[in-house]
Structures are given as C-alpha cells and as structure tokens.
C-alpha cells in the first residue's frame, strides 16, 4: 500500500470534526438520572447489609461449632488419657490429630477457606505476621504431638495440644472478623 495514500487518509481523518451535536437535548435525562442515583444510593447499599449480617452469623456459628467440637474432643481425649495405663508403654493415643467429627471438620474447613481467601486483604506487614504466627502454632502442634507420642498420658501435653488447635482457630477467626469489618466498610462507601 502506498504510504502517501495513508498520509492523506490520516490527514483527512484528523480533520474530521470531533464534535457532533446530538439530535436532542440530553441534559434533562442526565440530570434526572443523577438525581435518581443520588436518591437510590442509600437503597443500593441495603442489599449488602443482610449479606454482611449473614456472613457474621455464619462466622459466629462456625466458631461455636468448633468450640463445641474441641470441647467434646477434650473430654474424649482426657478419658483416653486417663485410661492409658502407663506412660511410655506401646499404647497409641487415638487423638493426636485434629478432631475427626464431621461437623468440626466441615466448620474448620469453611473457616480455613475464609482465612485463605481473605488473607490478601490484609496489609503486607500484617499478613506476614499472621503467616509467621500460624507457622509458630503449627510447629508447636507438631512438637507437642511428638512429645505426646512419647508420653500419651500427660494431661499437660494434651492441654497444650488442644491449645494449639484453639490458637489456630482463634487466628482464623481474627482474620475473618477483621476483614469482615473491612468488607462491610467498603460496601457502605
């Protein structure tokens, strides 16, 4: 294609009027649309509130389910620990891992999913601190589990193990609640 032909085409395009007058006055409808939007703005925010409330209630129910499951697991674990005849014998504790109750597993999974989804909403420094805390909790859990394998009758170790589970749940809950308030604020503005 001849470049000069493009040059003249470019010149012709550039010389086209950029402004074209609409066939009718558009402002009245625009002003009405803006005014309607201003009036509707508070209503538009309303549908977000039930969702935020539902999310908070869901979070509360998840935490409640987890606490109940951990409490029930503690009873079982203590009974098992009391029944273990002698520390250091070959008896393997049943519950060195997380409680396997179906409700607990589902609730914990949901909370962990929320935690992972919302971690990126935190400021980088906070996010790093949360990750470091989680790593510390999990390391403690692994160490205590190893100790319990050697001393399954120790009530203190069982208590410490339960504490690590609870600390992990507390961390998940804390992140979920913090980011929930951030999400709620963003839906208000």
Partner 1 sequence: MVDVEFEAIYRSHVDQVYGLCLRMTGQPALAEDCTQECFIAAWRALRTFEGRSRMSTWLHRIAVNTVLTLRRRRPGDALREAGELDEAALQMPGGAEAAGTLDIEAAMGRLPQGARDVLVLVGVYGHSHEEAAAMLGIAAGTSKAQLHRARRLMAQQLGIAMEAA
Grouping H, G, I as helix, E, B as strand and the rest as coil, residue 18 is coil
Vertex 111 angle, CA 106 and 114, to 5°: 125
**Quick check: 62 and 111 in contact, CB under 8 A?**
yes
Whichever of 6 and 138 has its CB closer to partner 1, that residue is 6
Q: How far is the CB of 37 from partner 1 (least distance, A)?
A: 7
The number of angstroms, rounded, from the C-alpha of 110 to the middle of its chain's C-alpha atoms is: 9
CA 2 to chain centre: 60
70-103 burial string, b = 16+ CB within 10 Å, else e?
A: beebbeebeebbeebeeeeeeeebebbebbebee
Question: How far is residue 11's CA from residue 16's CA, in Å, rounded to a whole number?
Answer: 9
Least separation in angstroms between CB 24 and partner 1 = 7
Pick 13 or 123: Cβ nearer partner 1: 13
Taking the complex as a whole, the smallest distance from the CB of residue 127 to partner 1 amounts, in Å, to: 27
As measured in angstroms, the least distance from the Cβ of 8 to partner 1 is: 9
In terms of CB distance, is 36 or 128 closer to partner 1? Answer: 36
Written as six digits, the tokens of 91 are: 């008896």
Q: Which of 117, 116, 72, 130 is nearest to 98 (CA)?
A: 72
Minimum distance from CB of 27 to partner 1 (Å)? Answer: 6
Residues near partner 1 (CB under 8 A) are 1, 5-6, 9-10, 12-14, 16-24, 26-27, 29-31, 33-35, 37
């Amino acid at each position: 294609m001849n470049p000069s032909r493009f040059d003249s085409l470019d010149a012709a395009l550039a010389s086209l009027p950029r402004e074209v007058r609409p066939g009718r006055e558009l402002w009245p409808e625009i002003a009405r649309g803006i005014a309607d939007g201003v009036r509707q703005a508070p209503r538009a925010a309303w549908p977000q509130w039930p969702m935020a409330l539902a999310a908070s209630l869901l979070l509360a129910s998840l935490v409640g389910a987890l606490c109940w499951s951990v409490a029930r697991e503690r009873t079982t674990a203590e009974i098992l620990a009391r029944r273990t005849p002698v520390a250091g014998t070959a008896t393997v504790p049943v519950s060195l891992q997380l409680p396997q109750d179906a409700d607990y597993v589902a609730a914990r999974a949901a909370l962990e999913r929320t935690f992972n989804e919302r971690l990126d909403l935190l400021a980088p420094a906070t996010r790093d601190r949360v990750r470091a805390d989680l790593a510390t909790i999990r390391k403690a859990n692994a160490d205590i589990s190893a100790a319990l394998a050697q001393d399954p009758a120790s009530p203190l170790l069982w208590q410490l193990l339960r504490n690590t589970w609870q600390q992990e749940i507390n961390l998940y809950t804390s992140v979920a609640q913090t980011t929930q308030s951030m999400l709620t604020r963003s839906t208000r503005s």
